[in-house]
Structure 1
Amino acid sequence: MPTDLKRDLGLAETTAIAVGAMVGSGIFILPGIAYVTAGSAAVLAFVIAAILVLPAALSAAEMATAIPEDGGPYLFVERGMGPLMGTIAGVGTWMMLSLKSALALVGGVPYLVYVQPTLAEAITALAIGLALFFTVVNLVSAEGSGKLQFGIVAALLVALAWLVVSGVPDVQADQVAGAFDPATEGILAATAIVFISYAGITKVPAVAEEVKNPGRNLPLAMVGALAIVAVLYATVVYVTIGVLDVTAAVEAGELRSDGEGAIIALVADELLGFAGVVVIVLAAILALASTANAGILAASRFPLAMARDGVFPSSFEQVSERFGTPANAVALTGALLLLLVTFFPIQTVASFGSAFQILVFILLNIALVGFREGAVSEYKPVFKAPLYPWLQLFGIIGGGYVLFQLGLVPALGALGIAALAAGWYFLYARHHVDSEGAARDAVRRGAAERSIERTRAAFENRDGTDVLVALTESTTPEAARDMTRIGLDISRLRGGLIDVVRFDSHPHRVFTAHTDRLEEPTGTLGDWLGFGEEPPSWFPMESAEESAGSRADGSGSRDTDSTTSRGDGGTEALAHPPEEPLRVEEPERGRLQRHVVSTENVVDSVAAYAAHEGIDLVLAERQTADLHRALFGGETAELLREVPCGIALVEDRGFDGDETLEEIAVVTHRGAYDPLKLLIADAIAEETNATISLLQAVPADPPATQRERIEDYHAELMRILTVPARSRIIEADDRIAGLARFATPADLLITATESRGLAGSVLGRPGDELVDRVDCTAVMVQPADEQHAGLVQRYLLSRIFGN
């Protein structure tokens, strides 16, 4: 996607930004609270939190390289899971960043009190005053302390390094015993509390447009920064606990009973004296002030972004003419911040902030699964997170478990905010947002542009398309004729061979080898297709009879003892493999071959045959009874999963006549059109003089920009097609009903297949529902690049994510 921003940030600069986004309030406030919760194992709590953050960091890095746009978690979740979950993520992140600012303000006051004890009676008043101060700063200036960020981070790292180096020799072994014991009571609760320390990692993808080689540098920077900060946190906490007797500090009143207080200043006092205390207190105040100010700045931009998308009222996107800031969004965030610092104690603030952060991280992992499993078309990340989906499952399950370790109140608080956000969506936002699930207009345009490029490349490819017409014992003659005619239409336009193969099922033989047999066909192809010696006008009877049983290059019959697959589902090489078809610049058109394969497993044999012969498209009959008989799909679902190329399921409703077709309806339920659907429709229309109708449904009363974008997209597609076409954008709250109404008059419907998961079986599949509602012949297409998960992965994904 073109951008006006310069890619000036290398790996070092991006890593520095990531480190600066995370280092701040957590290290100065949370060690004491974590110690009270889990003892010396507070050290391990910071490490475990970093490990649990890693899946979300990698997921965010992948999504950022695919969608290099501002918006962070809100954008990714909205794009991957739709506007409802995007609203929850946006509101949750806004709340989380506000809570982090509150934590910095409330936690920073004890450091002021440490150097000026007379302020102890006015902690809450000081926090409120600071909240008002930083709110005003953000109202009148968008810069805040941003220019000082690198300097503050550098000074902070130097101060903490001085503390660590000086403190290592004084660490008391008995005080750090069990620092890395995962069985310590309260370890997970402490992990949940310190989660907010890593909240800044989600800010990093916002600079993806400005990173050099983002596919490499962005994930390396995020993972590297996460490792650096985790080591820094663990080391500082280890020295803090090893040097300072935290229990004695609590008993002496230097720390509150919950561990709140200037704990790092206490350590500096013991190790470095007055000079060290001054340095640490100064670094803490600067870091906490920067965190609070940057938190308000970042948090206030979420109401702004959501207002632009219609989630919040438009008044929150207004920018002050005088100050150039989103005044209403800043004021709203400031009001929330005042509420938090006035009524919530610091441990509650930390727990709530961590709860929201965990929830956002869980949503980021789920959003990536949504992208990978096809919720958004044209998803082309430069970097892909490793160990998918296991890493994401670990992040989701681990995050969910730790979330409830915070206790009932924070967990219910996080879920309560999610429920409030969902309520806001249903009462207000859904009437004002584009419900296709794309948060930004530019992102949608980029997806359409990539789809057009793919479609144009597919139409310009002149390698030819080899088609396998897969007939089984249950295939009706009508469907066989339809599939053969479609294969011929494709071959005449695109070039390539048509293999009409009958897969005869035979029972398993206990004492014989598990092999399939390629047998000599009996009867004519006209007999197979049910028209005998009176072929329809579209069928090249003479050419077909001459090539029946021939090898792909036409030089003779195939070896009848060739083996294409084993009955147990495995594959093995042909004993006498046929020669490869000769590829020429202008592929042979309309050439038919026919064979018989005797097999124990039809699905395995179709897949093995297609793989061995280099088939580009398999045509099979859509078995309606099979689709609705089994919970997870039956033999048809197996075929969709196992065939290694494109596949089209055909349901005959009178398509085999000689009359000229008038209209072919090509439908997309979600996202862009797949090129394979358009290629098939174009080939059939070319041979039958039909007109193509591009049908796409949108919600009633869509935003003007959405309709204009689809109209432009359809116009580009119609320039690529070789036949007359028209665009129909259907406004309807019930998309399937609207599509069915306009598709019913067509002579042929071409749509997409649906995944055979549990959710589809229980709730219905839009593609199947649409085909069942129309009366014309239907073709359901699955492209060659459809993702095929492994058996265990499919099992888990179908149940957890409803695929």
Structure 2
Amino acid sequence: MSTSAKSAGTGELKRGLGVFDAVMIGLGSMIGAGIFVAPGPAAAAAGSGLLLGLGLAAVVAYCNAMSSARLAGRYPASGGTYVYGRERLGDFWGYLAGWGFVVGKTASCAAMSLTVGSYVWPGQTHMVAVAAVVALTALNYTGLQKSAWLTRVIVAFVLAVLAAVVTACLSGGTADAGRLAIGADATVSGVLQAAGLLFFAFAGYARIATLGEEVRDPQRTIPRAIPLALGITLLVYAAVAVTVLAVLGPEGLAHAAAPLAEAARAAGVPGLAPVVRAGAAVAALGSLLALILGVSRTTLAMARDRHLPHALAAVHPRFKVPHRAELAVGAVVAVLAATTDIRGAIGFSSFGVLAYYAIANAAAWTLTPGEGRPPRIVPVVGLTGCLLLAFALPSASVISGSAVIAAGAVAYVVRRFLGRTRG
């Protein structure tokens, strides 16, 4: 645990997660609603270059995961890259990473809750979204083990649904390998934008790192759990993307509001569509559950260092969770779920999280061989890829994301200036 955490006097979290639970939490974050909603906008951007976009997102995700895993083993405390940036690059960069993560993933929480609402009760999307946030916040409040158990159930169900979709599409006789060919509609800018949007669906392994203070033997568990979770996710996403693209084609996929359900119908299995809708709703619940966990732990770490109100650093004496941080995050997400739309939230989230991982890669570059430094090419490709994908996102996402990151930086400078003036 960091020195600041120890000196805060706010209590310690309980170390109860092993490799299996950590992998499940990572899978619950990544194999979530992203795979049910992100392929459509990505296909609209990249056309027949969708698989290139998926591959590029996977490469960047792999580099980010390797950098994060090495850093998490070195600094097994709550907060993830907020802690790594602070310890390796300085207080400002750690703060900026934490700020980017909190605002980006808070937007992700809103997107996931709205996905639940749109699949469960389309006419009352916002109401269902708020109810989902309240219910999962209450569950997280009662302890991490309950959340880990529910995540196992969710991951098992979602994997079964995805396997059913792939099997139905391949056996239906409508899949055409010719639709996988890259045509003239695939542009460099479109592929980059698609990769940035698809990155939204990959960026769940950070949840394992941000829970570092609640993992048993973190120096061994986290570096094992992160690549395992990412590897499984890559295999699942590749199978789903290839199958759906082969059935619907780039144009059909781009116009599909519910791509996997449309693929099931096109494959001649319309009865599978309701199951896919249920899978999407459950997957979104799993992602939301893990997201609230991750954001609240980063909030806890920033509150310990007084970058956020110090009252949020409290740890519940019985449940050993950052209960005030969880309630605060839940309240903010509930407000966003009641007032925002899902597509805007996905782009904004991707920008904030790519900024977060850019700092993680920069921090990993500073590790020495004795500290478990990854091969030099890993953080270089990760950092370059994060910046490239962030600024290739739709202009509205880039502008809003840049503005919020800049606002966080200004707030940091003002707070430091006022602190020195008072001192």
TM surpasses 0.5: yes
TM range (shorter): 0.7 to 0.9
CA contact (8 A) 1:340 1:349 kept: no
1:568-647 alignment runs, 5 A limit = none
Residue matched to 2:410: 423
The amino acid of 1:402's aligned partner reads: L
Q: Does 1:58 align with 2:54?
A: no
Letter paired with 1:424: A
- Cα distance change of structure 1 residues 319 and 346 upon mapping to structure 2, 3 Å threshold: same
**Counterpart in the other structure of 1:353:** 349
CA shift for structure 1 position 283: 2.3
The aligned residue for residue 96 of structure 1 is 104
- Per residue, is there more strand in 1 or in 2? 1
Counterparts of 2:185 and 2:374, CA distance in 1: 30
Provide the residue aligned with 1:562 in structure 2: none
In structure 1, the residue matched to 2:311 is 315
RMSD of Structure 2 on Structure 1 (CA): 3.6
- Using the alignment, how far apart are the partners of 1:157 and 1:179 within structure 2? 31
Match in the other structure for 1:457:
none
Structure 2 residue identity aligned to 1:398: G
Q: Deviations over 1:608-635 (max 9, x none)?
A: xxxxxxxxxxxxxxxxxxxxxxxxxxxx
Q: Secondary structure at the match of 1:200?
A: coil
- Taking the aligned partners of 1:180 and 1:60, their CA distance within structure 2 comes to 37
CA–CA distance in 2 between the matches of 1:242 and 1:37?
Answer: 17
The one-letter amino acid of 2:88's match is: G
Label 1:177 to 1:284 Cα distance change in 2 as closer, same or farther (>3 A): same
TM-score (norm 1): 0.46
Counterpart contact for 1:44–1:234, Cα < 8 Å? no
Cα deviation, residue 63, structure 1: 1.4
Q: 2:373 aligns with which of 384, 403, 412?
A: 384
Contact 2:28 2:287 (C-alpha < 8 Å) held by counterparts: no
Equivalent residue pairs, number: 411
Give me the whole-angstrom Cα distance separating, in 2, the residues matched to 1:369 and 1:7: 30
Shift of 1:269: 3.7
> Normalising to structure 2: TM-score of the pair?
0.83
Q: Of 283, 286, 309, which residue of structure 2 is paired with 1:290?
A: 286
Deviation digits for residues 367-405 of structure 1 (CA, Å, limit 9, x no counterpart): 123444xxxxxx952x3312x1x3322222222122111
Cα offset, 1:36, TM superposition: 1.6
Distance 2:315 2:378 in 1: 41
Verify the 8 A CA contact 2:161 2:276 in the aligned structure 1. yes
Residue 398 (structure 1) aligned to one of 369, 380, 385: 385
Q: Give the SS at the match of 2:156.
A: helix
Asked if the contact 1:124–1:341 (Cα under 8 Å) also holds between the matched residues in 2, the reply is yes
Question: Which structure 2 residues correspond to residues 205-284 of structure 1 after superposition, within 5 A?
Answer: 205=209, 206-207=211-212, 210=215, 214=219, 218-244=222-248, 247=251, 255=256, 261-271=257-267, 273=269, 275-284=271-280
Contact 1:74/1:89 (CA < 8 Å) preserved in 2? yes
Over residues 53-103 of structure 1, what are the superposed CA-to-partner deviations in whole Å (9 max), with x where a residue is unaligned?
222211112112222223211111111112211111112111122122112
1:167 is aligned to 2:169:
yes
> Which structure's CA Rg is the greater one?
1
Give 1:237 deviation, angstroms: 1.6
Which of 49, 52, 58 aligns to 1:44? It is: 52
Larger displacement relative to structure 2 (241-250 or 77-86): 241-250
Alpha-carbon deviations, 1:425-464, whole Å to 9, x = none? 22336777xxxxxxxxxxxxxxxxxxxxxxxxxxxxxxxx
Unaligned runs of 5+ in 2: 2-11
CA distance in 2, matches of 1:275, 1:394: 44
SS state at 1:61 partner: helix
Whether the 8 Å CA contact 1:41–1:180 is kept in 2: the answer is no
User: Offset of 1:160 from its aligned partner?
Assistant: 1.2
Are the aligned partners of 1:56 and 1:395 in contact in 2 as well (CA < 8 Å)? yes
Structure 1 Cα separation of the partners of residues 122 and 308 of structure 2: 40
Provide Cα deviations, 1:5-32, integer angstroms capped at 9, x if missing partner.
889845x665444333321121111111
Deviation, structure 1 residue 700? 11
Q: Alpha carbons of 1:243 and 1:421: their partners in 2 closer, same or farther (altered >3 Å)?
A: same
Cα separation, 1, equivalents of 2:15 and 2:322: 25
Contact map agreement 1:99 1:352 (CA 8 A) in 2: yes
Matched AA of 1:167: C
CA–CA distance in 1 between the matches of 2:189 and 2:313? 47
Q: 1:34 aligns with which of 32, 37, 42?
A: 42
| Whole-angstrom distance in 1 between the partners of 2:13 and 2:311 | 28
State whether structure 2 residue 191 is matched by structure 1 residue 187. yes
The residue identity in structure 1 corresponding to 2:235 is V
Q: Bigger relative contact order, structure 1 or 2, given CA contacts below 8 A and separation 6+?
A: 2
- Quote the sequence identity (%): 25
Q: Deviations over 1:714-771 (max 9, x none)?
A: xxxxxxxxxxxxxxxxxxx9xxxxxxxxxxxxxxxxxxxxxxxxxxxxxxxxxxxxxx
Shift of 1:332: 3.1
* Residue segments in structure 1 that go unaligned for 5+ positions in a row: 113-118, 256-260, 373-378, 433-698, 702-732, 734-803
Q: 1:75 and 2:92 equivalent? A: no
Query: Does structure 2 conserve the Cα–Cα contact (< 8 Å) formed by 1:178 and 1:184?
Result: no
Q: What is the DSSP-based 3-state SS (H/G/I as helix, E as strand, rest coil) of the residue aligned with 1:295?
A: helix
The separation in 2 between residues aligned to 1:224 and 1:137, in whole angstroms, is: 26
Q: Identify the residue that residue 28 of structure 2 maps to in structure 1.
A: 20
Structure 2 residue identity aligned to 1:421 = G
Q: Specify the SS of the correspondent of 1:340.
A: helix
Correspondence for 1:123: 125
- Residue 149 of structure 1 and its aligned partner are, at CA, apart by 1.0
Report the Cα offset of residue 146 of structure 1.
3.0
Structure 1 residues 247 and 101: alpha-carbon distance in aligned structure 2, compared to 1, 3 A threshold: same
Give the number of the structure whose residues are more often helix, by fraction. Answer: 2
1:302 has 2:306 as partner: no
